[in-house]
Amino acid sequence: MSQPLVFSRTENPKPASAEHRAKVLADPGFGNHFTDHMVTARWSAEQGWHDARLEPYHPIELDPATTVLHYGQAIFEGLKAYHQPDGSIASFRPSANASRFRASARRLAMPELPEEAFLDSLRELVSADSQWVPSEGESSLYLRPFMISTERSLGVNRPAGSYLYTLIASPAGSYFASGVKPVTVWLSREYVRASPGGTGAAKFAGNYAASFVAQRQAAEQGCDQVVWLDAVERRAVEEMGGMNLFFVFGSGADARLVTPELTGSLLPGITRSSLLRMGERLGLAVEERRITTDEWEEKALSGEITEVFACGTAAVITPVGRVKYSEGEFTIGDGTPGELTMRLREELTGIQYGRLPDPEGWMT
């Protein structure tokens, strides 16, 4: 084992003015404003992980021949820190993000950041920038760890020999400030996101780069989000652009929660795995299995599928109201947010904001 990483702290902090911070926190939106600091650490074949720092937020300078700019070895994570009723700040299942970050690194032939270093980096940044954690309604501090290759070389026949880990943070406002609104989704048959043996299960930058053309097509069709299908038959539902999908079969005490199984080409969402566990605790039948677009349409029309929702760190739980594809469209239930969807949303945000007990010890 290498030495634990110790983060050196800046001696020249450059905090934003209290006025600027107050203005941002009054209406943070998502992903456009950043806190005073960032964390970085470097990796090289000779030294392993080293040079870990907490520094003022600043641009990264890269040589034009840096490998990430050409061959795209870049992975990231996304999680949130929330104000708790006792005044502390806690994040939701950060060890799960640490573990997925290592899995993404393995798939992209990048070095794995040890869990302790990942968690320490979060603690360093959140404690330095604790004043940037918003406290209004369902707001939070979004944390964005990422890693890029930094070797200066155009050689394409091997992974890079050096890497930069960086953590930045961005205050995030309530996603649904004016109430939870169902989305309309587009079934993408022309484009695929990920294929068997590919990078779909990794939080790899290129997956997102490849998705924008379909997202634009969805917008042209009046839809909010793309639903990705399997690459081979384009029939099995996989996930959405930044969220996993759940289907509610039946209702009341007989409700069943179904989500597409992890095929290797969809992202194993942490919200997804948490909802499967919560569903079990609530006494619901939960199933991870293949579900096709034909089954979705048929059972939405027959009323067997009563609710559909998407889930992920950013929007927590988003109801799906309507589904469109090139030859048709259909509605889920009456198109309004379902009862179980809203109940699970209350349970999950209750744990995250410390309003409800946390039986699994998910908050850190």
**In the stretch 270-289, what mask flags binding to ligand PMP with x, by CB under 6 A?**
xxx-----------------
CA pair distance 100, 280, nearest whole angstrom? 23
User: Contact with ligand PMP (CB under 6 A): which of 242, 279, 319, 337?
Assistant: 242
Q: Which stretch binds ligand PMP (CB under 6 A): 101-109, 156-164, 241-249, 322-330?
A: 241-249
CA diameter of the chain: 65
- Give yes or no for a contact between 96 and 270, defined as CB atoms under 8 angstroms apart: yes
Phi, psi of 143 (to 5 degrees): -105, 130
Closest distance of CB 8 from ligand PMP, Å: 30
Q: How far is CA 159 from CA 32, 73, 184, 205, 210, in A?
A: 32, 8, 40, 16, 21
**Residue 238 sits in the site that holds ligand PMP (CB under 6 A):** no
Residues numbered 61-120 forming contacts with ligand PMP, rule: CB under 6 A = 78
Is 63 or 360 the residue whose CB approaches ligand PMP more closely?
Answer: 360
**Residue 269 sits in the site that holds ligand PMP (CB under 6 A):** yes
Q: Which stretch binds ligand PMP (CB under 6 A): 126-134, 164-172, 262-270, 334-342?
A: 262-270
219-222: long-range pairs with CB below 8 Å, 24+: 221/186, 221/324, 222/184, 222/324
**Residue 313 sits in the site that holds ligand PMP (CB under 6 A):** yes
Neighbours of 361 (CB within 10 A): 7
Closest distance of CB 244 from ligand PMP, Å: 5
Closest distance of CB 242 from ligand PMP, Å: 4
CA pair distance 42, 39, nearest whole angstrom? 11
Is 15 or 78 the residue whose CB approaches ligand PMP more closely?
Answer: 78
**Residue 244 sits in the site that holds ligand PMP (CB under 6 A):** yes
Burial class (CB in 10 A: 0-12, 13-18, 19+), 70: middle
Closest distance of CB 281 from ligand PMP, Å: 18
- Give yes or no for a contact between 187 and 329, defined as CB atoms under 8 angstroms apart: no
Is 162 or 244 the residue whose CB approaches ligand PMP more closely?
Answer: 244
- Binding footprint of ligand PMP, residue count (CB under 6 A): 12
Beta strand 225-229 with 183-188 is: parallel
Is 160 or 323 the residue whose CB approaches ligand PMP more closely?
Answer: 323
Closest distance of CB 44 from ligand PMP, Å: 28
- Tokens for 114, please give them: 């040890």
Neighbours of 309 (CB within 10 A): 30
Q: Which stretch binds ligand PMP (CB under 6 A): 7-15, 146-154, 240-248, 354-362?
A: 240-248
Is 52 or 218 the residue whose CB approaches ligand PMP more closely?
Answer: 218
Q: Which stretch binds ligand PMP (CB under 6 A): 25-33, 52-60, 165-173, 236-244?
A: 236-244
CA pair distance 253, 232, nearest whole angstrom? 36
Q: SS3 for 305?
A: strand
Q: Residue numbers of the site for ligand PMP (CB under 6 A)?
A: 78, 239, 242-244, 267, 269-272, 312-313
